């Protein structure tokens, strides 16, 4: 049996936006349930994100440690960022984030996974890319500010990240999903070559090729 998520939209009889922030907002919808009753649902409206699992020629993953105030922890993560421009090609955004956060470029790109981070309370969609054949980018490093001023960088073997994720030592969703997806791809019959191309359609955040 092959499972697929399918588009569906229940009737909304009223909607409001009680909060609008710099990048995201909060929406309140009154949604008609299957039995005809109406339930109120509050959720964060998010532009979407991209993340990059950059793998070097020694099978090490480029990771960074960044303070995340909502959870009061410094988390090890992979480079990631918002889709700041509506309709932007996510590959272009991923290349930008890899350059800005790590001053790295890559020649080979594929899609690892598309996920909704917290679909019960936020509409954020994330596309996680696999980037290989990586090297230092040319030119000056991108200027950092705020939490990014305290970043730590490391290159860690994929197996160690998988171990840390399964041991409950690593918690960033893009890191965990990315390393487990890559491990699964490497162990599959098609290998990394069976992954989707970098320009694969993304219905959650449609873009121009």
Which sequence positions are flagged as catalytic? 148
Please tell me the distance from the alpha carbon of residue 62 to that of residue 79, in angstroms, as a whole number.
8
Exposed / middle / buried, residue 5 (Cβ in 10 Å: 0-12, 13-18, 19+): exposed
**C-alpha distances in Å from residue 195, one per residue of 113, 144, 190, 203:** 9, 33, 8, 17
Cβ atoms within 10 Å, residue 54: 24
**CA nearest neighbour of 155 among 40, 51, 81, 76:** 76
The two tokens of residue 151 are 């970043």
Q: Do residues 185 and 158 make contact, with C-beta atoms less than 8 angstroms apart?
A: no
Q: How far is the C-alpha of 152 from the C-alpha of 75, rounded, in Å? A: 10
């Amino acid at each position: 049996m092959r499972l697929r998520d399918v588009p569906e939209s229940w009737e909304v009889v009223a909607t409001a936006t009680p909060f609008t922030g710099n990048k995201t907002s909060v929406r309140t919808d009154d949604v008609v349930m299957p039995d005809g009753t109406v339930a109120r649902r509050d959720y964060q409206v998010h532009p979407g994100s991209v993340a990059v699992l950059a793998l070097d020629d020694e099978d090490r993953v480029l990771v960074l440690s960044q303070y995340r105030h909502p959870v009061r922890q410094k988390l090890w993560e992979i480079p990631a960022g918002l889709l700041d421009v509506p309709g932007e090609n996510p590959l272009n955004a991923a290349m930008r984030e890899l350059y800005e956060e790590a001053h790295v470029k890559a020649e080979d790109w594929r899609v690892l996974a598309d996920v909704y981070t917290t679909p019960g309370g936020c509409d954020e969609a994330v596309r996680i890319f696999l980037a290989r054949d990586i090297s230092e980018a040319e030119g000056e490093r991108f200027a950092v500010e705020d939490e990014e001023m305290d970043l730590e960088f490391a290159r860690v073997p994929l197996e160690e990240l998988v171990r840390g994720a399964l041991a409950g030592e690593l918690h960033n969703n893009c890191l965990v999903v990315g390393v487990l997806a890559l491990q699964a791809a490497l162990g599959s019959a098609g290998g990394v070559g069976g992954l989707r191309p970098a320009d694969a359609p993304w219905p959650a955040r449609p873009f121009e090729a």
